[in-house]
Amino acid sequence: MMITTKNILKLVATDLDGTFLRNDKSISKENIDALHSLGEKGILRVIATGRNLKKTKEVIATDVPFDYIVFSSGAGVYDLKLDKLIYHQNLREEMVQQLADFLISRDLNFHLFKPVPENYKCWYHRGSVPCSEFESYFDFHQSHSEPLPVDIPLNSEACQFLVVFPNNLERFLKLKMEIEMLFPEVKVVRTSSPLETGYIWMEIFHESVSKGNGVKFVCDTLQIEHESTLGIGNDFNDLDLLEFTNYSYIVDNGPQEMKERFLLAKSNEESAFALAVGQHI
């Protein structure tokens, strides 16, 4: 059904994995054509992804016409036209050490990513309980990983923590509540494992970091009204984005509980981005 609006669309923000990209990480012709159509109409095209900047550029070629990248779930914003980092927010040094000590005391498996823009590099800590998901992630990132020091201070800011444990929502919620109570300047985000193994990934950022705030930074910088924005995503880490944008879509391959809150789109395998954008231009 065609949607008619009083507001002229000025910015479109899309998640990548499971939303804009197909499952094999390719981009459909329809989605590319939609990006070109948006550009011809002067509508800004923004990536809003949990990927770091390096990994975003690995799947988005330089000729794919986006204008901005909100990366690492909003910890950084990159202007593609200027080829320049224009915003970043890391966890402060003291908080990083305290939170690392806490996670170690809970015997958890986690990665700790270095400050933006070097946050494709990380430290890692293994708990005493083996975790196949942690090891799979480690194998994928080990060329950029080093053991977390445990006997000397880290003395560094950091972008985020990534804690991996089996799919136990009650355990996640209990740990989330404990962390946010003890460390009020951080936020805990739940996301589904992109490895599709059923594990829960817990991401811990500075409290101001979110895809929604990253897109809001772009809007505020360019004086774009909230009413003129569209967002599309597929997972719980897109909630802040979809709560910020005026026209907010969840793809068909997203969680059922999110489908009850947002506009519905086709799956990422069916050019959901192009079809959603096509309702507004």
Q: Give me the number of domains the chain comprises.
A: 2
Largest CA distance in the chain: 61
| Judgement on whether residues 55 and 111 belong to the same structural domain of the protein | no
Q: Residues with Cβ < 8 Å from 217, sequence gap 6 or more?
A: 70, 77, 87
- Give phi and psi for 151, each to the nearest 5: -110, -10
Residues 218 and 84 in one domain: yes
- On whether residue 141 sits in a domain, the answer given is yes
- For residue 269, the domain's CATH number is 3.40.50.1000
**Residue 273 falls within a domain, yes or no?**
yes
- Is residue 83, in this structure, part of any structural domain at all? yes
**What are 218-247's pLDDT values in tens digits?**
999 999 999 999 999 999 889 999 999 999
Query: Considering the domain boundaries, does residue 181 fall inside one?
Result: yes
With b for 16 or more beta-carbon neighbours within 10 A and e for fewer, the 223-248 pattern comes to ebeeebbbbbbbbbbbbbbbebbbbb
152 part of a folded domain: yes
Residue 3 lies in a domain: no
The predicted-structure confidence for 30-73, as pLDDT tens digits, reads as follows: 999 999 999 999 999 999 999 999 999 999 999 999 999 999 99
Residues 46 and 106 placed together within one structural domain of the fold: no
Residues 81 and 160 grouped into a single domain: no
Are 193 and 228 part of one and the same domain? no
Statement to judge: residues 220 and 82 lie in one domain: yes
What domain range includes position 150? 93-206
Same domain assignment for residues 263 and 182: no
Domain assignment present for residue 171? The answer is yes
Q: Are residues 214 and 83 in the same domain?
A: yes
Q: pLDDT tens digits, residue range 171-196?
A: 899 999 999 999 999 999 887 776 66
Angle ∠(55,61,62) on CA atoms, nearest 5 = 115
> Does residue 5 lie within any of the structural domains?
no
Final residue in a domain of this structure, among 187, 206, 225: 206
Mean pLDDT, rounded, for 153-179: 92
**Does residue 80 sit in the same domain as residue 160?**
no
Does one domain contain both 100 and 192?
A: yes
Q: Are residues 140 and 167 in the same domain?
A: yes
CATH of the domain at 134: 3.30.1240.10
Confidence of residue 4 (pLDDT cuts 50, 70, 90): very low
Last residue in a domain, options 206, 228, 259: 206
